[in-house]
Amino acid sequence: MKTRGSPTVGRFVVLPNALVAGPWDLPAAILCSVLLAGILVAEVLTPHAVVGALGLLPLLGAMWLLSNRSAALVAATGLLVFATSLWLEPINRLTIVVVGVATCVAAAVTRLQATALARSLSTGFRVAALTPRESEVATLAGQAYTAAEIGARLHIGERTVETHLANTYIKLRISSRRELIRMASRLDKGKERAAGGGSRPLKTD
C-alpha cells in the first residue's frame, strides 16, 4: 500500500487537504484570495465579458488543498467578490448569478469530497500500521466479539487480547469499542490489502 510519502502518489496525485498543518496553508489562502480580488477587478474592467468564471480555479484549489479555516477565508472572499460583482454590474446580473451559484455548488461539493477522502486515507494509513495479530483482534472486536471469545478463536489469552486492543486503540486514535465497531468495514479492507487480497491461516502467539 502506498503511503503519503510515496513517490508515485506525490508525483501524480494531489492529495486532499495537502497543505493542512503546513507552512503554506495560510499563504496559499492569501494567494487564492488575491487572485479572486484580481478577477473582480478584471470583471469590472471588462463589463461585456464574464471573467468571474475564472474564480472557480482558485476557489476549487482552496477547497481541495487547505484547512477548514483557510478554506473558509477563501470562501468568504469569493462570496464578497460575488456580491460586489452583482452590485457593480447590473447589466450582467443574471449571468453572474448563474455562474456564482454553479461555482458555489462546485466548491461545496469539492470541499465535502476532499474532507471525506482525507479522512478515509488517514484511517487507511492508520489501519495499515496495525500488526497482523492486532488486525485480527481488531477485526473480531469490530464484529462485537468479547475478549474471551476472541481469545478462544485465536488461541491466545484474554489478557493478550486486551493488550492488542489497547495498542490498536492507540494506533487508530480511538478510545472505545463502539468506535472500533464503526470502523469494522475499513479494518476488513485494510486486512485484505495487507494479505494481498487472499486468505491466510491464523498464527498462534
pLDDT band at 5 (very low <50, low <70, confident <90, very high): very low
Contact 191, 139 (CB under 8 A): yes
Concatenating the DSSP letter of every residue in 138-202 gives HHHHHTT--HHHHHHHHT--HHHHHHHHHHHHHHHT--SHHHHHHTHHHHHHHHHHHTTTS--PP
CATH level 2 (architecture), domain 129-194: Orthogonal Bundle (1.10)
Q: Does residue 155 come out as left (phi exceeding 0), alpha (psi in the -120 to 50 range) or beta?
A: left
∠ CA 98-27-97, nearest 5°, is 5
Contact 58, 81 (CB under 8 A): no
**Which residues make up the CATH 1.10.10.10 domain(s) of the chain?**
129-194
In this predicted model, what pLDDT tens digit does every residue of 54-76 receive, in sequence order?
888 999 999 999 988 999 999 99
Q: Is the pLDDT of residue 204 over 60?
A: no
In this predicted model, what pLDDT tens digit does every residue of 101-118 receive, in sequence order?
999 999 999 999 888 887
Contact 16, 57 (CB under 8 A): no
Q: Is the pLDDT of residue 6 over 90?
A: no
Nearest to 56 by CA among 44, 76, 43, 39: 39
In this predicted model, what pLDDT tens digit does every residue of 14-30 receive, in sequence order?
778 888 777 899 999 99
